[in-house]
């Protein structure tokens, strides 16, 4: 009886440790803004990729998909391909992750490049499609729910700066196509903010006026008294500054 009792205690302890380990393994945390982007090595339609190190001192967008040959994801890939010149202009590298195998990626890419989407003719896909069949990248970036193995929520967009720091992210449900224009807009706003030490108002677009950030009331009053031609105020806590152009267009602001 005593041996049986000891056996049950040991069995309970081992089972409890095993369940705790499994629970810890399921703690897939989304990286926070300001943290270093998690690194990984994976196979892609352009060979093996070491992310983000292979992309050096450029901006990067990691764009994830739950499955190949799906209509919403296919439309997004085609929109990204159509905007390749815009990403090139603002010196940003695109990397697309999908949870299918590499050979499926290759067939999907080939099929997509034959589609006449929005009567624009066929599009060449110049960015890599990375295989994440074992879900390691999806887990690394917190896109797998802790209670399930479904890939339907692997729909994240991660914007990473030249220092490999995560600066912005978006998540969309599987039924809703992502806004590729908003990705471009966010990248442009981040680059403008970094280059000129400014912030951007709601719905800002390249060429719009920006905010001089973090002024207290006295600082704002002194700035108004200087009557600089490129600065104006709606109120002391909303001080605007004019900039000549946007990223990729030889910005010539007065306070770089």
Catalytic positions, please? 73
State the Cα–Cα distance between residues 38 and 103, nearest whole angstrom.
25
Q: Where are the alpha helices (DSSP H) in 176-216?
A: 180-196
CA 56 to chain CA mean position, Å = 16
Helix (H, G, I), strand (E, B) or coil at 163: coil
Q: What long-range pairs does 201-206 form, CB within 8 A, spacing at least 24?
A: 206/245, 206/246, 206/247, 206/249
**CB neighbourhood size of 191 (10 A):** 22
> Cα dist. 126→7, 35, 46, 80, 88 in Å?
61, 28, 9, 10, 11
**CB neighbourhood size of 60 (10 A):** 22
State the Cα–Cα distance between residues 170 and 183, nearest whole angstrom.
9
Cis peptide bond prior to 156, omega within 30° of 0:
no
Contact between residue 206 and residue 212 where contact means Cβ atoms under 8 Å apart: no
State the Cα–Cα distance between residues 171 and 155, nearest whole angstrom.
6
DSSP H or E run through 224: helix 217-226
> Cα dist. 122→73, 86, 116 in Å?
17, 18, 5
């Amino acid at each position: 009886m005593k041996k049986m009792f000891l056996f049950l205690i040991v069995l309970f302890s081992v089972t409890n440790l095993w369940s705790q380990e499994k629970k810890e393994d399921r703690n897939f945390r989304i990286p926070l803004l300001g943290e270093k982007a998690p690194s990984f090595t994976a196979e892609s339609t352009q060979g093996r990729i070491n992310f983000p190190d292979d992309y050096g001192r450029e901006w990067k967008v990691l764009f994830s998909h739950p499955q190949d040959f799906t209509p919403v994801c296919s439309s997004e890939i085609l929109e990204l391909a159509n905007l390749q010149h815009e990403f090139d202009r603002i010196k940003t590298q695109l990397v697309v992750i999908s949870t299918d195998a590499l050979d499926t990626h290759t067939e999907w890419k080939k099929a997509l490049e034959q589609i006449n989407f929005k009567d624009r003719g066929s599009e060449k896909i110049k960015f890599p499609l990375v295989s994440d069949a074992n879900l390691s990248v999806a887990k690394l970036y917190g896109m797998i729910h802790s209670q399930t193995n479904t890939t339907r929520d692997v729909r994240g967009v991660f914007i990473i700066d030249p220092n490999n720091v995560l600066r912005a992210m978006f998540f969309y449900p599987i039924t809703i196509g992502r806004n590729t224009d908003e990705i471009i807009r966010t990248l442009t706003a981040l680059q403008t903010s970094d280059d000129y030490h400014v912030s951007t108002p709601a719905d800002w677009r390249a060429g719009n006026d920006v905010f001089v950030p973090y002024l207290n009331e006295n600082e704002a009053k002194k700035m108004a008294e200087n009557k600089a031609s490129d600065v104006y105020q709606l109120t002391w806590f909303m001080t605007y500054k004019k900039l000549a152009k946007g990223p990729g267009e030889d910005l010539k602001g007065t306070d770089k």
